[in-house]
Amino acid sequence: MQTRFTAAQLQDSGVAACEPILRKCVHCGFCTATCPTYVLLGDELDSPRGRIYLIKEMLENDRPASAEVVRHVDRCLSCLACMTTCPSGVHYQHLIDHARVHVEKTYRRPLLERALRASLAAVLPYPRRFGAVLALVPLARPFARLLPARVRAMLELVPVRSRPDAAVLVAAAGTAGADSGASGPTEAELRAANDGRRVFPAHGERRVRIGLLTGCVQTVLEPSINAATIRLLTRAGCEVVTISGCCGSLVHHLGREREALEFGARVLEQVDTEQRRGGLDALVANASGCGTHAKDYGHLFRDHPLAARAADASLRARDVTELLVEIGLPPVREPPRVSVAYHSACSMQHGQKIDEPPRALLRQAGFVVREIAEGHLCCGSAGTYNILQPEIAARLRERKVGNVARTGADIVATGNIGCIAQLGTGLTVAHTVELLDWATGGPAPPAWLARRR
Ligand code: SF4
Ligand code: SF4
């Protein structure tokens, strides 16, 4: 695609990054077939190609974002299915990221919209604030029908299943044997890890030393995921050092560039400290949305004083399943007789191009892995998308739930907290590491225990 940017426009680093991306697009439209919003809505402007045109026009003409551009940019899930499909290698991720920043800077949204977005940015990345808000959810549930659709969408994402209490988990862990590393971190240790640095030594000989991104929303919604990850990795010979706080991904998807860099900088400073303390062989994410974001730090910080550290952190970033394939799964104790429908999060399959490692590990752990039809289509989670675009998100969720149900599997495995929240209200969903931990000596995932009660 021909572009007409002036030399002055190309002084802007964001525009300069977009120009070669736009030039690569040959208008072929292959990407439309796999774009969830085009598949659902059938509008060219809700396809990758249509959005690329809108963004190009806006940037080339130095225009503030119009209501039309905002509508179609907002409807994009940033699922990146288009990047997997595109034969020309168009880096749509960096283009839509820049468009969101441009929208945030040049478009004044209606008051309620601004308030909602500001509230999400002020609450979700902060576990204590988010935890306090969640505590109020049971009070709001009886009035759900009276609330606006977006608030209802938020309530629906909060798990309602009866959670097994700590005693059940400890009892389940105890059955696995004292030398297995099954008991793992205590609740107090996990809480401390969310607030700051904790070190969990390897069981037996230390093979690698890794930094684990503990994250934000996940620590509140499903603290069992970090517990399972630490048990599994320490059992596999990792010394695990926690890197606490939000990685910046949540606010990044809202176009809030400055805040995203501030969150990212806090992560990079911790990584740098650990590098100097004892070295880090990898920066590990157990939420694929965070992993995709961390792998992009090098690009996001390209004009920042932390550019070199960011590039180094990106090179070290791994999804937990990538690391486990490299270092090997701990010995499988007693394979649970459970069939698993593996749901590959968009940030896993499209953002990081990780397809086989989670499936291979689940099979190695003894699970029967079933494929979900239309596996390339997003479940509608997409960061805060299911709150900001509840109708489209609900349609995608229903489609995914139907495809999962047709597998007849006992449980769904996935590697991203957003998908767990999106699908967990209708299905039994566990994180992949919870299942791997279970098979190698840890307790059964809380979702599984709750289902069997
Ligand atoms: S990121 Fe997803 S929703 Fe957005 S244009 Fe690409 S395929 Fe469509
Ligand atoms: S598949 Fe790639 S080259 Fe073709 S229209 Fe889509 S983004 Fe452009």
The answer to whether residue 334 is domain-embedded is no
Q: Of residues 353 and 181, which shows the higher confidence score?
A: 353
**Residue 314 sits in the same domain as residue 346:** no
The answer to whether residue 190 is domain-embedded is yes
Of 327, 347, 375, which residue sits at a domain end? 327
**Residue 343 sits in the same domain as residue 323:** no
- Is residue 382 predicted with pLDDT exceeding 90? yes
Ligand 1 interacting residues, C-beta cut-off 6 A? 35-37, 48, 51, 76-82, 92
Contact criterion met (CB below 8 Å) for 327 and 237: yes
Of the residues 92, 95, 347, 381, which should be mutated to test ligand 1's pocket, given the most ligand atoms within 8 Å of the CB? 92
Ligand 2 atom at minimum distance from 24 CA? 3
Ligand 2 interacting residues, C-beta cut-off 6 A? 25-31, 48-49, 82, 85-86, 88, 90
Contact criterion met (CB below 8 Å) for 420 and 309: no
Domain of 189? 166-327
**Residue 343 sits in the same domain as residue 429:** yes
Distance between CA 383 and CA 290 in Å, rounded?
10
Helix (H) or strand (E) holding 209: strand 208-215
Contact criterion met (CB below 8 Å) for 448 and 411: yes
Distance between CA 151 and CA 142 in Å, rounded?
13
Provide the pLDDT confidence category of residue 158 given band limits of 50, 70 and 90: low
**Residue 221 sits in the same domain as residue 322:** yes
Task: State in Å: Cα 65 to ligand 2 middle.
Answer: 22
User: What are the tens digits of pLDDT across the range 305-324?
Assistant: 999 999 999 999 999 999 99
Q: Give the mean pLDDT of the chain.
A: 92
CA 413 from chain centre, in angstroms, equals: 14
Ligand 1 atom at minimum distance from 51 CA? 5
- Is residue 160 predicted with pLDDT exceeding 60? no
**Residue 345 sits in the same domain as residue 292:** no
User: What are the tens digits of pLDDT across the range 15-59?
Assistant: 999 999 999 999 999 999 999 999 999 999 999 999 999 999 999
**Residue 322 sits in the same domain as residue 348:** no
Which CATH number is 25's domain given?
Answer: 1.10.1060.10
Of 327, 361, 380, which residue sits at a domain end? 327
The answer to whether residue 149 is domain-embedded is no
**Residue 268 sits in the same domain as residue 350:** no
Contacts 24+ apart (CB under 8 A), 205-209: 205/237, 206/237, 206/238, 206/239, 207/236, 207/237, 207/238, 207/327, 208/237, 208/238, 208/239, 208/281, 208/282, 208/323, 208/327, 209/238, 209/239, 209/241, 209/278, 209/279, 209/280, 209/281
- Is residue 404 predicted with pLDDT exceeding 50? yes
**Residue 216 sits in the same domain as residue 171:** yes
**Residue 229 sits in the same domain as residue 251:** yes
Of 327, 358, 383, which residue sits at a domain end? 327
**Residue 372 sits in the same domain as residue 392:** yes
Q: Tally the domains of the chain.
A: 3
The answer to whether residue 118 is domain-embedded is no
**Residue 248 sits in the same domain as residue 360:** no
The answer to whether residue 146 is domain-embedded is no
The answer to whether residue 92 is domain-embedded is yes
Provide the pLDDT confidence category of residue 452 given band limits of 50, 70 and 90: low
The answer to whether residue 143 is domain-embedded is no
Distance between CA 155 and CA 137 in Å, rounded?
7
Contact criterion met (CB below 8 Å) for 415 and 409: no
Ligand 1 atom at minimum distance from 31 CA? 7
Instruction: Extract the tokens encoding 261.
Output: 């860099």
- Is residue 165 predicted with pLDDT exceeding 70? no
User: What are the tens digits of pLDDT across the range 361-370?
Assistant: 999 999 999 9
**Residue 292 sits in the same domain as residue 366:** no
Which CATH number is 397's domain given?
Answer: 3.40.50
Instruction: Extract the tokens encoding 125.
Output: 């990345």
User: What are the tens digits of pLDDT across the range 171-222?
Assistant: 444 333 333 445 677 777 777 777 778 999 999 999 999 999 999 999 999 9
Helix (H) or strand (E) holding 75: helix 67-75
% the chain with pLDDT above 70: 92
The answer to whether residue 348 is domain-embedded is yes
